[in-house]
Structure 1
Amino acid sequence: MLDELLGRAELKARIEELEEEKRHLERRAAAEEERRSEAARERQEAEAEVNRLEDRIEGLEERVERLAETDDVDVAFRGTEQLRGDRRDEVLSRLSSFETGPEGALTAMVHEDVPDAVAEALGDRSALVRRAAPCLVCVDDAGLVAAALDPPTPPAAFAEWGSGFRLDRSWFAPAGPTWVALVRSDLFALGVYDGESVALVDEVESDVMGSHSKGGFSQARFERRRDQQVDEHLDRAREAIEAHVGSGADRDLIVLGEGTVLGRFTDLADRTATVDATGEPAAALESAVREFWTVRLSLL
């Protein structure tokens, strides 16, 4: 009764209305924040899918271009094989032992354009060289040998005739102990490869955030935190390389791993390459080395 007389009842009712409106607005704000987080996650997934499709389109366009360059000639490889270890050495030995008359054996390192000498020697089958490039082509003037190999550490482009094929084993396997590093955004392994086995020298594993989920960090904070963790991990990897390998001209260093992080090591490495190696550091490094030094043989 007194509240009504003093007008406080109306004020209290108004306060309750405002409190309820405040709670409603807070719920709307929370829902909007969740939608923004979900939208950011979906945008990330969409961008990743767009990148995947762009890579696929680029690959298909290159394939169409190569097929167009064949002048509609239907040619196919006589066979292909992945060579490693003893099998690789056996094939290289056979090719190295091939002897013919002067100017009877053509060797060519093809990176992009097919040399005239290769096109003349293979005719329509030179289209296969475009598909296999970059590759080292070995073919003789009698057509007894016609093969392409993809050297892990290829030389500069050349094409020359001789009495035998020009093959340098260092293009296909290390000439001596070689430093090899595997770098991922959360893992680093460093070892020495002698052509047969890998000796692990150092390893670094870091706890890097995975994909973002609802709740906790906002999307932007999550990405900043993850990028910081990756940067710290890569800095530790560089420090390990510099500590063990150094920067002298008398050492060889090959850095393998994720394409997104290899750019951080091009100034240290003699060569970099993308590989798909997962698992524990020692096993992952061995897998990366095996993948990198596997040689694809294509019979033309």
Structure 2
Amino acid sequence: MLDALLGRASLKERIDELEEENERLRNRYEAESERRSEAATARQDAEERVNRLEDRIAQLEGELEQLEGDEAGLSVRRRDRLRGSRLEAVVDRLTSFRTDPEGALTAILREDEGSETLAEAFDVDLETPLGDRAALVDEAAPCVLCLDDAGLIAAALEPPAMPDRALADDSRIAWDDRFRLEREWFLPTGRYALALVRTDLFALGTYADGDRVDYRGFESDVKGNHSKGGFSQARFERIRDDQIDDHLERCREALAERVGDDIDRLYLVGQRGVVETLAEDASLEPAGTAAVDATGDPKSALEDAHRSFWTAEFRAF
């Protein structure tokens, strides 16, 4: 009765309502925090599964190639996709090899080059150390071939950043007492930038020895592959092309703004046609390009693209 007369009853009711609302918000916050934690854990688990599946796929591809080679009577001794510490260990072993003067061949083979190219253009006979297995080199190009004259080492690596295609022939084929391999062909060294470009997404990372130190990314509103809402196909395609052009212009501006003299090298990855168009229109000279299938938001897609790019195909003959 007294509370009602003093107006405290309504205040107490309001306090009870606010406390209930506060409790609901606290429960919602705790549920959201738990959901975010579970999402982060799920993402880490998914990344681990992806890595395991990629390794398994590479293993199965190697086994398939071996089976196919067995049918033809030839097969590589080993085939694998290497990255990170595994790739670094292989490169270190190859570069530490020493032999007699002109006993180690390093050959940078472009696409569609192989044993015949080496024999006819450079007078390099692969049949002496490799025998019939010399034919397997043709399937490995483009690659960097490492072979000693005794046939003890016969391996090919397709590096993430193939050496400059403008290299003179006498620089592509070299006999020495060691294999001439540059670490920057295979491993993330120095200060470089890697840009992921799709028709609707752009992500640019600046790295120092493989560690990202700067980032810029965005997504653009680009229509899908099929028209909706009554658009004619021609009109739909014109609108989509204009949206893609606007997106690529944003990409060019971001590259011009972020990639400066402090960057040693630029790598472009993503959708093949988009990468080629951007490199040409922006007058870029990337140190390497690659088609990668990286999905998700810009930052996570960039992480996937960076890991995928710095992966090398390895074959032992």
User: Would the TM-score normalized by the shorter structure come out above 0.5?
Assistant: yes
Match of 1:90 in 2: 89
| Structure index of larger Rg | 1
Q: Unmatched 5+ residue regions in structure 2?
A: 1-68
Given candidates 241, 245, 260, the residue that maps to 2:255 is 241
Alpha-carbon deviation of 1:175?
A: 3.3
Given candidates 290, 294, 298, the residue that maps to 2:311 is 294
Aligned length: 229
Are 2:101 and 1:113 equivalent residues in the alignment?
no
Given candidates 134, 151, 167, the residue that maps to 1:143 is 151
Match of 2:203 in 1: 189
Mapping 1:214-233, distance limit 5 Å? 215-233=229-247
Given candidates 177, 180, 185, the residue that maps to 1:163 is 177
Alpha-carbon deviation of 1:206?
A: 0.9
Pair 177,183 (structure 1): closer, same or farther in 2 beyond 3 Å: same
For the residue of structure 2 that corresponds to 1:289, the secondary structure is: helix
Question: Contact between 2:191 and 2:264, CA under 8 Å: does it hold in 1?
Answer: no
Alpha-carbon deviation of 1:249?
A: 9.5
Given candidates 123, 141, 144, the residue that maps to 2:131 is 123
- Cα deviation digits, residues 234-268 of structure 1 (max 9, x gap): 1111111111114x596421111111211232222
Mapping 1:269-284, distance limit 5 Å? 269-270=285-286, 271-284=288-301
Taking the aligned partners of 1:133 and 1:206, their CA distance within structure 2 comes to 37
Taking the aligned partners of 1:230 and 1:171, their CA distance within structure 2 comes to 32
For the residue of structure 2 that corresponds to 1:161, the secondary structure is: strand
For the residue of structure 2 that corresponds to 1:75, the secondary structure is: coil
Alpha-carbon deviation of 1:81?
A: 1.2
Structure 1, 197-206 or 84-93: larger mean CA deviation: 197-206
Query: AA paired with 1:122?
Result: L
Taking the aligned partners of 2:273 and 2:162, their CA distance within structure 1 comes to 23
For the residue of structure 1 that corresponds to 2:267, the secondary structure is: strand
For the residue of structure 2 that corresponds to 1:237, the secondary structure is: helix
RMSD: 2.2
TM-score under structure 2 length normalisation? 0.67
For the residue of structure 1 that corresponds to 2:238, the secondary structure is: helix
Alpha-carbon deviation of 1:91?
A: 0.7
Question: Contact between 2:189 and 2:210, CA under 8 Å: does it hold in 1?
Answer: no
Question: Contact between 1:129 and 1:135, CA under 8 Å: does it hold in 2?
Answer: no
- Cα deviation digits, residues 203-228 of structure 1 (max 9, x gap): 12011111324542111111111111
Query: AA paired with 2:126?
Result: A
Taking the aligned partners of 2:285 and 2:270, their CA distance within structure 1 comes to 12
Question: Contact between 1:85 and 1:196, CA under 8 Å: does it hold in 2?
Answer: no
For the residue of structure 2 that corresponds to 1:190, the secondary structure is: strand
Given candidates 270, 284, 290, the residue that maps to 1:268 is 284
Match of 1:61 in 2: none
Mapping 1:48-127, distance limit 5 Å? 74-111=73-110, 112-114=112-114, 115-116=118-119, 117=124, 119-120=126-127, 121-127=129-135
Taking the aligned partners of 1:136 and 1:87, their CA distance within structure 2 comes to 17
Taking the aligned partners of 1:184 and 1:200, their CA distance within structure 2 comes to 20
Question: Contact between 2:248 and 2:278, CA under 8 Å: does it hold in 1?
Answer: no
Structure 1, 273-282 or 119-128: larger mean CA deviation: 119-128
Identity %: 49
Question: Contact between 2:161 and 2:289, CA under 8 Å: does it hold in 1?
Answer: no
Taking the aligned partners of 2:113 and 2:94, their CA distance within structure 1 comes to 24
Question: Contact between 1:189 and 1:200, CA under 8 Å: does it hold in 2?
Answer: no
Taking the aligned partners of 1:220 and 1:142, their CA distance within structure 2 comes to 63
Query: AA paired with 2:302?
Result: L
Q: Unmatched 5+ residue regions in structure 1?
A: 1-69
Match of 2:189 in 1: 175
Question: Contact between 1:80 and 1:297, CA under 8 Å: does it hold in 2?
Answer: yes
For the residue of structure 1 that corresponds to 2:230, the secondary structure is: coil
Match of 2:36 in 1: none
Question: Contact between 2:222 and 2:243, CA under 8 Å: does it hold in 1?
Answer: yes
Taking the aligned partners of 2:126 and 2:189, their CA distance within structure 1 comes to 32
Are 2:271 and 1:258 equivalent residues in the alignment?
yes
Match of 2:51 in 1: none
For the residue of structure 2 that corresponds to 1:253, the secondary structure is: strand
